[in-house]
Amino acid sequence: MKHLIRECFQGEGYVFATRAAEIARAHGHARPARLASNENPAGPSPEAVRRAVDALGCVNRYPDETNRGFADALRAYHGDYRFVASVGMDGIIETVIRTLINDGDEVVVSTPTYSFYGIAVRAQGGTPVSVARRADWSVDPETFIRACKGRKLAFLCSPNNPTGTVTPVEDIKAILDEIKGILFLDAAYIDFCDEDYRPLMKEYDNLIIGRTMSKAFSLAGLRIGYAFVPTWYEPYYMTAATPFTLNSVSQAAGEGALADPSHTIPIVRNVEVWRGRFAKESPYPVAPSGGNFVLVDVAPATAEEVVEQLAARGVIVRSCTSFPGLGDHYIRVSIGEDWENERFLEEISRL
Q: x/- string (CB under 6 A) for ligand PMP, residues 171-190?
A: ---------------x-x--
212 is a contact residue toward ligand PMP (CB under 6 A): yes
Residues in the interface with ligand PMP (CB under 6 A) total: 13
- Residue closest to 251 by CA, chosen among 259, 262, 242: 259
Neighbours of 78 (CB within 10 A): 15
Report residue 90: phi and psi, to 5°. -55, -40
- The residue type of 54 is D
Is residue 40 part of the contact set for ligand PMP (CB under 6 A)?
A: no
Q: By CB under 6 A, which span of 5-13, 138-146, 212-220, 277-285 interacts with ligand PMP?
A: 212-220
164: buried, middle or exposed (CB in 10 Å: 19+, 13-18, 0-12)? buried
Q: Is 347 in the site for ligand PMP (CB under 6 A)?
A: no
Name the one range near ligand PMP by CB under 6 A: 84-92, 135-143, 148-156, 176-184: 84-92
Segment interacting with ligand PMP (CB under 6 A) among 82-90, 99-107, 138-146, 330-338? 82-90
* β-bridge pairing 330-334 and 318-319: antiparallel
Among 161, 163, 292, 334, binds ligand PMP (CB under 6 A): 161
| Bridge partner residues of 34 (DSSP) | 316
Distances (CA, A) of 253 to 50, 52, 87, 223, 292: 8, 5, 13, 11, 22
Q: Which of 41, 44, 225, 254 binds ligand PMP (CB under 6 A)?
A: 225
Residues 96-135, one symbol each (x = binds ligand PMP by CB under 6 A, - = not), give ------------------x---------------------
Show the DSSP H helices in the chain as ranges.
Answer: 18-26, 46-56, 68-78, 88-100, 116-123, 141-148, 169-178, 234-240, 248-258, 264-281, 303-312, 338-350
Which amino acid appears at position 20 of this protein?
A: A
Give me the least distance between CB of 211 and ligand PMP, in Å please.
Answer: 8
Q: Tell whether residue 220 is a contact of ligand PMP (CB under 6 A).
A: yes
Looking at beta carbons, which residue is closest to ligand PMP? Answer: 88
Complex with ligand PMP: residue 49 or 220, whichever CB lies closer:
220
Residue 15 touches ligand PMP, criterion: CB under 6 A: no
Question: Does 90 participate in binding ligand PMP (rule CB under 6 A)?
Answer: yes
What DSSP character marks residue 64? P
Question: Which residues of this protein are in contact with ligand PMP, per CB under 6 A?
Answer: 38, 88-90, 114, 157, 161, 186, 188, 212, 214, 220, 225
